[in-house]
Amino acid sequence: MTKKRFIINRILQVIPMLFIISIIAFTLSHFSTGDVAEITLRNEGGQVTPEAVDAVRAELGLDKPLVTQYFNWLGNVIKLDFGTSFRSNQPVWDEIVYRFPATFMLALCAAVLSIFLAIPMAMISAKYKNTWIDHSFRVISTGGATMPDFFLGLLLLYLFAIHLDIFPVVAGNQLQHIFLPAFTLSLGYAAIYTRLLRTNIIEVMDATYMKAAKIKGLSNNAVLIKHGLKNAIIPCITLMGSNFGTLVTGSFAVEMIFSWNGIGKFALESIKAKDLPVIQGYILFVAISFVLINLIIDICYTYIDPKIKLK
Amino acid sequence: MKEHTDTNLLKRTFSRLKNDKLALTGGIIVLLFILAGAFATYIAPHDPTAVNIENRLLPSSWEYPLGTDQLGRDVLSRIIYGTQVTLRNAFLVLAGILIIGVPMGMIAGYTGGRIDNFIMRVADIVLTFPSGILALAVVGMMGPGMLNIMLVLVSLWWAPFARVIRGAVLKIKEKDFVMAAEAAGTSKFQIIVKHILLNAASPIIVLATLNVASIIMHIAGFSFIGLGTQPPAADWGVMLNDSREFIATDPALMLWPGLAIMIVIFGLNMLGEGLNEALSPHTQKGIQRIKPWSVQRKVSTLKEDTYE
């Protein structure tokens, strides 16, 4: 299979998922607790009479068959018209796009931080494999992987923002306050990467090119860093890539704990306010970015790792 | 192929587990939580939802070992009842996952061809679907509630089980003893149940143990963000969320439910890993590890063998 075929195949694979998501999002508007026409009328300050409701229904196309409604709706979505928020009366698209950079930055920082936490831990573990150092790192990483991020977030908030008063309690979306939420998010991932990286480094250390590098006169540490890490980290980067898609969907709990103004917190607030157009928009936006990011990463991966066989 | 008899498997597992201190500790932790949940009515010193404003935010005492919360409810009793609720919900989700996943895997493996292809395609989509998005959609349609969250988890997490069962079916389907049994007139159903379930038992047990840990993490997480169990119910996630308001003055309120979640997940994880090693020392790589909640259990689409 050529690279091109692979990429086309991957894009085709994505289509059923996007279709399912669009159906879910579309159904959402039909499950709304109140009549959409009525709510729209109320929001515009009009009198709620049966005739007026019918008129709004016709205007919104709610009297047409479901399939027609679905395609009308899909047409709007493609034009990035996600409707208007019940709460703020602003276009949903604008509201989401305004908050997305905060979530994206948080995801990026968490992803980078997790790799940078994992590299030294894994290297030390691999170097002193099966000693007490390795075992204690193993216990730490198991603890990190089993620690719920919402509890870790609360603990860090208490320790650093309240007890030690180093960070503010409300992070907002300012870049200088990103450390605590990013660290909270990264720890679980770092634990997983540490274990993966440790196994990979140990495997790589037996490779002939490592022996060759040593024979050439490089010191153990230099070989490990220059040749070992470079090869061992590839699977880790792949995993990070696939996790990044999830991170970008906005971490509800962490954004909530640190009052980080991203799309996750926004979605939760909208659920509480029953602001369905926003929830619908959020689901679409996030699902599409999730799918696209995974797609881009998979495609990049075929270029990064030549070892992958495209049969 | 030698199949393991039930008693043999149990004996072997127990003798291996006995030597694995971490797994043993995990097992004991899990057992203690199950006992606490099962006998909550007898152990809990107070009614977990009895409000008593005069006793609000008390420090720990003989009467209230872990103190009281903002409404004067006994924290220890709430934790104990929370154990009951959490474990019951987690096992219900697991049961749902098994009820869907096991038959799906069997059908896929046994029939092969187009049906197999279709089921595995669905499984692929479901595996990569972010649980948070679906949960938000379902809650948006039907309102917050633990039942809705449980439905979301069941509808997404049956897939790994289906895969394991399918793999076991495929491996055994062509074996001589199955063919012989078939030729001798044993019904297909009997063959499946007897040979395939028994052979798939080890990976299923390990997967189930680790899954319960993930389920607990998720249901607590969804309750914490307000989509799952609703207050005033005694639930770990709800308790954690309630404690946020008092984090500066009464950090202990957040500590106890958090520790309960952490310890039970740690126990299940240790037990799961121990069982994994005890039951199938050579297949360690095939088992999913528990991941932080809200982390997608993504099965990499980039395994070399998925490319064909």
Q: B156 pLDDT exceeds 50?
A: yes
Band of the pLDDT at B80, cuts 50, 70, 90?
very high
- Are the C-beta atoms of B228 and B145 separated by less than 8 Å? yes
* Closest approach of B194 to chain A, Cα-based (Å): 35
Q: Angle at which helices A179-205 and A132-146 pack, to 10 degrees? A: 140
Distance CA A208, CA A210 (A): 5
Mean pLDDT of A225-237: 82
User: Which one-letter DSSP state was computed for residue B268?
Assistant: H
A22-71 pLDDT per residue, tens? 888 888 776 654 566 676 677 666 677 777 777 777 776 677 777 888 88
* Closest approach of B251 to chain A, Cα-based (Å): 7
ipTM of the complex: 0.82
User: Which one-letter DSSP state was computed for residue B52?
Assistant: -
Q: How many A×B Cβ pairs under 8 Å?
A: 161
* Domains in chain B, CATH or no CATH each: 2-42+73-307 (1.10.3720.10)
* Closest approach of B302 to chain A, Cα-based (Å): 7
On whether any CB of chain B is under 8 Å from the CB of A304, the answer is no
pTM: 0.84
Nearest CA in chain B to A147: B262
- Across the interface, of B141, B142, B265, the residue whose CB is closest to A146 is B265
Cβ-count burial A10-22 (b if 16+ within 10 Å, e if not)? beebbeebeeebb
Residues in B closer than 8 angstroms to A22, CB to CB, are none
B259-283 pLDDT per residue, tens? 999 999 999 988 988 888 777 654 4
Distance CA B150, CA B154 (A): 6
Torsional sign, CA A271, A274, A279, A280: positive
Distance CA B249, CA A152 (A): 18
Cβ-count burial B209-246 (b if 16+ within 10 Å, e if not)? bbbbbbbbbbbbbbbbbbbbbeeebbbbbbbbbbbeee
- Are the C-beta atoms of A304 and A241 separated by less than 8 Å? no
pLDDT of res. B2: 45
- Are the C-beta atoms of A27 and A36 separated by less than 8 Å? no
Residues in B closer than 8 angstroms to A198, CB to CB, are none
Band of the pLDDT at A190, cuts 50, 70, 90?
very high
Q: Which residue has the higher pLDDT, B101 or B248?
A: B101
Measure CA B117 to chain center: 27
β-strand partners of A260: A172
B104-152 pLDDT per residue, tens? 998 898 888 899 999 998 898 888 788 888 888 888 888 889 999 999 9
Please name the residues in contact with A132: beta carbons below 8 A apart, sequence gap of 6 or more. none
Q: B249 pLDDT exceeds 80?
A: yes
Distance CA B222, CA B8 (A): 40
B30-74 pLDDT per residue, tens? 999 999 999 988 988 888 888 788 877 778 887 788 888 888 888
Please name the residues in contact with A196: beta carbons below 8 A apart, sequence gap of 6 or more. A122, A235, A236, A239
Band of the pLDDT at A255, cuts 50, 70, 90?
very high
Domain boundaries, chain A: 100-276
Distance CA B308, CA B304 (A): 8
Residues in A closer than 8 angstroms to B137, CB to CB, are 24-25, 28, 279, 283
- Across the interface, of B133, B224, B227, the residue whose CB is closest to A286 is B133
pLDDT of res. B91: 96
Q: Which residue has the tokens 């587990």?
A: B17
Q: Do A17 and B225 touch (CB under 8 A)?
A: no
Please name the residues in contact with B234: beta carbons below 8 A apart, sequence gap of 6 or more. B48, B49, B77, B78, B79, B81, B82, B85
Q: At A295, which amino acid appears? A: L
Mean pLDDT of B275-293: 54
Band of the pLDDT at A246, cuts 50, 70, 90?
confident
pLDDT of res. A36: 65
* Closest approach of A241 to chain B, Cα-based (Å): 10
- Are the C-beta atoms of B74 and B252 separated by less than 8 Å? no
Residues in A closer than 8 angstroms to B306, CB to CB, are none
Distance CA B250, CA B58 (A): 10
N- to C-terminal Cα separation, chain A: 5
Please name the residues in contact with A68: beta carbons below 8 A apart, sequence gap of 6 or more. A61
Band of the pLDDT at A116, cuts 50, 70, 90?
very high
Q: What angle do CA B118, B119, B122 make, to 5 degrees?
A: 85
Band of the pLDDT at B285, cuts 50, 70, 90?
very low
Q: A143 pLDDT exceeds 70?
A: yes
Q: From 1.10.3720.10, 3.20.20.70, 3.10.20.30, 3.60.40.10, which CATH number describes the A100-276 domain?
A: 1.10.3720.10
Please name the residues in contact with B168: beta carbons below 8 A apart, sequence gap of 6 or more. B105, B109, B196, B199, B200, B203
Of the ranges A107-111, A230-234, B116-120, B299-303, which one carries the lowest mean pLDDT score?
B299-303
Residues in A closer than 8 angstroms to B217, CB to CB, are 148
**Total H helices, total E strands in chain B:** 13, 0
A118 burial type by CB count under 10 A (0-12 exposed, 13-18 middle, 19+ buried): buried
